[in-house]
Structure 1
Amino acid sequence: MIRFLVGKAPSLVFVLFASSIVAFALPRLAPGDVAVVLAGDDPTAESIAAIRRELGLDRSPVVQYAEWISGLFRGDLGESFLLQRSVASLIGDRIGSTVQLALLSTILVVLIGATLGTLAGSARVGWARAVLDFANSLFVAVPSFLVGLGFILLFGIFNRWLPVSGEVSVLDDPVWGFQYLILPALALALGPAAVVARFIQTEMRAVRNAEFVDLALSKGASARHITLRHVFRNSLGTGVVAVGLQMGNVLAGAVIIEAIFARNGLGQLAVSSVQDRDFTVLQVLILGAVLVAVLCQLLTEIVLAALDPRIRLGDQT
């Protein structure tokens, strides 16, 4: 494990370094100027220039980037230009909502993906396989925001079964918190879960043609035993890889889903930061999303090695 982490460290540092440059430059390339926003209505050129000097925006981008990175190493994430609050406090106020949404969505991705993939990979009746294939294709094709809007209409307007706007923390009230959380989490999870199911389904159908499956059949093993003990078990690695790859989609989709369901999470903070040109907040959010995605990929490789003894972490061959 130590050898594996040490070997991954250089690539991790390079990815974060490159991502920090993108996170710093991308918000500044967008049209608009935060100094103009802060100057109010009918600003003069002198007032805009004074605000830029006060915020340090008149310095070269290289100097601004160096100051930002040095601040990150000191644990200083910077300060929001518009809200006059530290970025750390802004993220701290909202990260709980996003973490709850992401955790439940990930659990649903694993459960729904594994269930649909196993059923589709095991179905032998033509109509059952066709129904499962159609369900997977539908979930893959329909974007998460459209699923979310459909849930709002079905469960919040036509039938007032679940709340569709706002939130209650699961830590404060587990029952109400789950009711506020289940619809956005399900809307966010269905698309990635269908992709995971496709991977598992394809791998299971390939494994069924392996020689060890024929050997188990010749020994009189039951179909259920072969599916669970041999086929599904040897297809788990592909499912784990698929889940790791879909974490990026979950993070990206959380921005839209939080806006649709009016959740006060990091996605909403990112949207408001883009609208207000508050790039000190936005650049930290971008870099944080990349860090989470990279860590998820590392965790995927570790879990994959634990499931498959043929894989050894740290091996270079």
Structure 2
Amino acid sequence: MFRYTLRRLPSAVVVLFVASVVIFFILRLAPGDPAAALAGPDASTATVQAIRHQLGLDQPLITQYLIWLRGILSGDLGNSYILHAPIAQLISESLMNTTELAIGALVFAIVGGGLIGYFQGIAKRRASQATLSALTSFGIAIPTYVTGVLLILLFAVGWRVLPAGGIGPGIRDFSLGWQYLLMPAIALSLPTGATIARFLSASMRQTLDQDFVQTGIAKGIRPSRLMIGHVVPNSLPPVLTVLGIQIGQLFGGAIIVETIFAWPGIGQLLLQAVTGRDYLLTQDLLLIAVLVFIVVQLITDIVDAAMDPRIRLERA
């Protein structure tokens, strides 16, 4: 298992390096000049050039990239152009808030999607299957910004039982913080939960057709024990694979959800960085998003290999 993990690390490092190159140079293709934006519309050419020199934007692109890469490797992320604060501090504060939101959404997605997928997988009536399939289709098809607005209109404006936005005290006082977390976590969890339900139900149907299930039934094993002890565990590997992808996509969906619910996380910070043409902050945030996705995928592959030794043998 340890050797399998070591074999996966070089490819992860290569992907991260390529992503850093793409992120850096793609941002330079975007229209607009950060120095001109900081200087203001009435600034002179000399003022703009001075700001460009101060920010290091007058240096060759390869030099700028190497300076940025050296800063990342040394742990010095620099300062934000527009927020005038250390980027490491901004990211750490925002990342904690986004992680709190992502964990809440992931819990809803796994519990809700797992239950729906389980009952859809064992359902024998067409009406039950059609109803559960419609629920998952609804969760996948409805955009998160529509779900977020509907939740606000229903629970914050209509019934007035939950706050419309903000983060509140967060995990410091969870007895109150959960009220702020509930709606954005539900809105963010619906596409992931629906996807988990779809894959779990399809995987369970395939597993139910396997010979060992029929053998268990013939031996008189209780259906509940057979499902929980054998069918579900053997149906999990493809679900875990898609779950790893969905966890990475949670951070992408968090940008929209955090904007709707005024949640001060990575999404809000990235929006400020992009609109303010803050190259350094935008680069760091995008690279962190790629890093999170790579780490999650690596963990997912390791868990898959631990559950199914055939994966380790195939990739040996």
Length-normalised TM-score, structure 2: 0.96
Aligned to 2:315: 316
Q: Deviations over 1:209-238 (max 9, x none)?
A: 111111112222333233222221210112
Task: Give, in whole Å, the separation in 2 of the partners of 1:218 and 1:178.
Answer: 48
Q: By how many angstroms is 1:189 displaced?
A: 0.6
Divergent runs of 4+, >4 A? none
Aligned to 2:265: 265
Question: Is the contact between residue 27 and residue 277 of structure 1 (CA under 8 Å) also seen in structure 2?
Answer: no
Aligned to 1:282: 282
Aligned to 1:52: 52
Task: Give, in whole Å, the separation in 2 of the partners of 1:139 and 1:171.
Answer: 27
Question: Is the contact between residue 23 and residue 284 of structure 1 (CA under 8 Å) also seen in structure 2?
Answer: no
Task: Give, in whole Å, the separation in 1 of the partners of 2:17 and 2:149.
Answer: 37
Task: Give, in whole Å, the separation in 2 of the partners of 1:148 and 1:300.
Answer: 29
User: Which segment drifts farther, 63-72 or 164-173?
Assistant: 164-173
Question: Is the contact between residue 109 and residue 190 of structure 1 (CA under 8 Å) also seen in structure 2?
Answer: yes
Task: Give, in whole Å, the separation in 1 of the partners of 2:51 and 2:310.
Answer: 60
Q: Deviations over 1:158-183 (max 9, x none)?
A: 11111121112433211111110111
- 1:77 and 2:77 are equivalent in the alignment: yes
User: Which segment drifts farther, 164-173 or 62-71?
Assistant: 164-173
Q: Deviations over 1:171-210 (max 9, x none)?
A: 3211111110111011101111111111111111111111
Task: Give, in whole Å, the separation in 2 of the partners of 1:177 and 1:71.
Answer: 36
Cα pair distance change 1:238/1:315, threshold 3 Å: closer
Letter in 2 for 1:64: Q
Aligned to 2:121: 121
Q: By how many angstroms is 1:311 displaced?
A: 4.2
Letter in 1 for 2:168: V
Structure 1 segment 22-101 matched on structure 2, within 5 A: 22-101=22-101
Question: Is the contact between residue 166 and residue 263 of structure 2 (CA under 8 Å) also seen in structure 1?
Answer: yes
Aligned to 1:244: 244
Q: Deviations over 1:225-284 (max 9, x none)?
A: 332222212101122112111112211000110000001111100001111101110100
Q: Give the root-mean-square deviation of aligned CA atoms.
A: 1.5
Q: By how many angstroms is 1:309 displaced?
A: 4.6
Letter in 1 for 2:26: L
- 1:213 and 2:213 are equivalent in the alignment: yes
Task: Give, in whole Å, the separation in 2 of the partners of 1:109 and 1:304.
Answer: 20
Identity of aligned residues (%): 39
Task: Give, in whole Å, the separation in 2 of the partners of 1:199 and 1:172.
Answer: 36
Question: Is the contact between residue 144 and residue 257 of structure 2 (CA under 8 Å) also seen in structure 1?
Answer: yes
Task: Give, in whole Å, the separation in 2 of the partners of 1:57 and 1:108.
Answer: 44
Q: By how many angstroms is 1:37 displaced?
A: 1.1
Length-normalised TM-score, structure 1: 0.95
Local SS of the residue matching 1:171:
helix
Question: Is the contact between residue 145 and residue 256 of structure 2 (CA under 8 Å) also seen in structure 1?
Answer: yes
Task: Give, in whole Å, the separation in 1 of the partners of 2:2 and 2:219.
Answer: 42
Task: Give, in whole Å, the separation in 2 of the partners of 1:52 and 1:110.
Answer: 48
Aligned to 1:168: 168
Task: Give, in whole Å, the separation in 1 of the partners of 2:24 and 2:79.
Answer: 14
Task: Give, in whole Å, the separation in 2 of the partners of 1:198 and 1:275.
Answer: 37
Q: By how many angstroms is 1:142 displaced?
A: 0.8
Question: Is the contact between residue 87 and residue 281 of structure 1 (CA under 8 Å) also seen in structure 2?
Answer: yes
Cα pair distance change 1:306/1:170, threshold 3 Å: farther
Cα pair distance change 1:93/1:220, threshold 3 Å: closer
Question: Is the contact between residue 16 and residue 290 of structure 1 (CA under 8 Å) also seen in structure 2?
Answer: yes
Aligned to 2:229: 229
Aligned to 2:154: 154
Task: Give, in whole Å, the separation in 1 of the partners of 2:66 and 2:37.
Answer: 25
Local SS of the residue matching 1:202:
helix
Task: Give, in whole Å, the separation in 2 of the partners of 1:130 and 1:142.
Answer: 18
Task: Give, in whole Å, the separation in 1 of the partners of 2:5 and 2:303.
Answer: 14
- 1:300 and 2:300 are equivalent in the alignment: yes
Q: Deviations over 1:33-83 (max 9, x none)?
A: 111111123122222112111211111100000000011111101211122
Q: By how many angstroms is 1:9 displaced?
A: 1.9
Local SS of the residue matching 2:78:
coil
Q: By how many angstroms is 1:110 displaced?
A: 1.5
Aligned to 1:106: 106
Q: Deviations over 1:64-112 (max 9, x none)?
A: 0000001111110121112222111111232221110011112222112
Question: Is the contact between residue 168 and residue 177 of structure 1 (CA under 8 Å) also seen in structure 2?
Answer: yes
Q: By how many angstroms is 1:308 displaced?
A: 3.1
